[in-house]
Amino acid sequence: MATPAPVFPKLSLEQAKEALKEAMAAFEIPENKARMEEALATVADQPPMAKMPVLIPIVQEIQAAAMAKHGFEGPGAVMAATMQINMYAPQDPEIANGVRFLASKLSGN
């Protein structure tokens, strides 16, 4: 029998902003900066698309604690939270900028 898909909360605009700020701040933690730098060193000469398989798991792990505070835990949680946050990007420039910041981490910027 298939395991039911996890049910995640619905973020309000303000909750999405808060989760996004926390996720972005996680990249400023020295340990997380070091993890990203180490990973980037291993793929420095690769094109952005080739970096993603290395960077995506690290970027998701770095964001996981921030997203868990907002009820997003377990398999698919970071992606589900990111998708909800991204839905607010067209109407909120602050969120749009934050989403671009997170996307830049996936390509090593």
Q: What is the pLDDT of residues 81-107, one digit of tens each?
A: 999 999 999 999 999 999 999 999 988
Residue count of the chain, please give it.
109
Read off the tokens for 7.
């049910």
Q: What percent of the chain has pLDDT over 90?
A: 80
Taking the CA atoms of 96, 15, 109 and 60 in sequence, report the sign of the dihedral they define.
Answer: negative
Q: Report if residue 8 sits inside a domain.
A: no
The amino acid sitting at 104 is S
Determine, yes or no, domain membership for 73. Answer: yes
Q: Is residue 95 part of a domain?
A: yes
Specify the pTM: 0.88
Distance between CA 88 and CA 92 in Å, rounded?
Answer: 6
Our count of domains for the chain comes to 1
Inside any domain, residue 3: no
Range of the domain at 39: 13-106
Tell whether the model's pLDDT for residue 37 goes beyond 70.
Answer: yes
Residues 72/80, Cβ–Cβ less than 8 Å: yes
58 within a domain of the structure (yes/no): yes
Average pLDDT over residues 49-74: 93
Average pLDDT over residues 55-76: 94
State the amino acid at position 12 in one-letter form.
Answer: S
